[in-house]
Amino acid sequence: MIRTLKQCPAPAKLNLFLHVTGRRPDGYHLLQTAFQLIDRCDYLDVEVRDDGLIHRCNDIPGVPADSDLIVRAARLLQAHGGSSLGANLTLHKQLPMGGGLGGGSSDAATTLLALNHLWNTGLTRAELMQLGLQLGADVPFFLFGENAFAEGVGEELQPLNTAEDWFVVLEPGVQVPTPAIFSAKELTRGTKPVRIADFSSDAKIHWKNDLQTVACALFPQVDAAIQWLSQYGQAKMTGSGACVFCAFADETAADTVLKQVPDRWTSWKAKALSRHPMAQKLGSKNIWLEA
């Protein structure tokens, strides 16, 4: 029986657009968005424990172990799957927090995938996605396995072919608290729904991130980063911010822009992924497929 998985990738996502189309009675917002996986990742080491304890082995500044989504994900799966086994979790954090890149959600999804395999709990992808939704609206996407058009609060997913692109991502140097953006009274909540079939058409040029105006008003650093990157193409914010990005046709074009970025911002390039490197291991019959 395998006891450890090392360096399990938890990739980031970009929201290629994000429309707020309504609000549910519980306050959660109805969205339409395109989730794009990129090759920038956190990495997770997982080791089975026989005593049933879930232990995070490393300190992560600002994230107490008990409220960490990876610990909560492990406990949820343990309770739901009826496992008596526990786990040591070590998270190598590379993705910024409060960045709109889905890092925490992706970490939780990778935890569920790794432990479902190591503990042999045998949950299907659909069951894992349902559990994941209890942890956050973006978690089901990271279990889905490929780029997606999302509706509902982000859990109704359809596969989406996106153009293979390179991206330049800027970190504006602030952490944006997602609830503050969604609860702002200035937020537009009635964008007319678009059709997935139009995603590859010219119409999508007009598809924006509805959270961007509010985030830019509250955090001028985000606005400044978008203004700067807009010189080179259609710059947008991802998720509820803070990170902003712009797509490029090839790596050379991305490198050229990266060289120009002022020192005050952390910036990097990322390649679009077509599949999630971890989630694709869960085959259609719920069998773990080693790459």
Annotated binding-site positions = 96-106
Nearer to ligand C5P, 187 or 261 (CB): 187
98 binds ligand C5P (CB under 6 A): no
210 binds ligand C5P (CB under 6 A): no
Q: What CA–CA distances, in Å, run from 21 to 140, 211, 267?
A: 20, 12, 31
Considering the complex, what minimum distance in angstroms separates the CB of residue 100 from ligand C5P? 10
Q: Note whether 89 and 54 are within 8 A (CB).
A: yes
- Of the two residues 98 and 172, which places its CB atom closer to ligand C5P in the complex? 98
Q: Stretches 80-88, 133-141, 168-176, 193-201: which one binds ligand C5P (CB under 6 A)?
A: 133-141
179 belongs to the binding site for ligand C5P (CB under 6 A): yes
CA-wise closest residue to 218 among 160, 178, 271: 178
Q: In the structure encoding, which two tokens stand for residue 189, read together?
A: 């909540």
Q: What would you report as the CA-atom Rg of the chain, rounded to the nearest whole angstrom? A: 19
What is the closest distance, in whole angstroms, from the C-beta atom of residue 23 to ligand C5P in the complex? 7
With contact defined as beta carbons under 8 Å apart, do 24 and 57 qualify?
no
Q: Which is nearer to ligand C5P, 97 or 153 (CB)?
A: 153
Q: Does 156 bind ligand C5P (CB under 6 A)?
A: no
Q: For residue 32, give both structure tokens.
A: 């339409």
Does position 146 bind ligand C5P by CB under 6 A?
A: no
Counting contacts by CB under 6 A, is residue 165 touching ligand C5P? no
Residue (5 or 69) nearer to ligand C5P, CB: 69
Q: Which part of the chain contacts ligand C5P (CB under 6 A), choosing from 143-151, 177-185, 247-255, 264-272?
A: 177-185
User: How far apart are CB 72 and ligand C5P at their closest, in Å?
Assistant: 11
- Asked whether position 154 contacts ligand C5P by CB under 6 A, the answer is yes
13 is catalytic: yes
Residues 16-75 that bind ligand C5P (CB under 6 A): 28-29, 31
Of positions 48, 60, 97, 153, contacts ligand C5P by CB under 6 A: 153
Pick between residue 23 and residue 80 the one whose CB is nearest to ligand C5P: 23
208 in catalytic set: no
Per the annotation, binding residues for ATP are 96-106
CB 99 within 8 A of CB 243: yes
Q: Residue 244 pairs with which residues in a beta bridge?
A: 170, 237
Q: Which one of the listed residues 107, 138, 210, 223 is annotated catalytic? A: 138
Q: What minimum distance in Å lies between the beta carbon of 260 and ligand C5P?
A: 33
Catalytic residue set: 13, 138
Binding residues for ligand C5P, rule: CB under 6 A, are: 28-29, 31, 136-138, 153-154, 178-179, 182
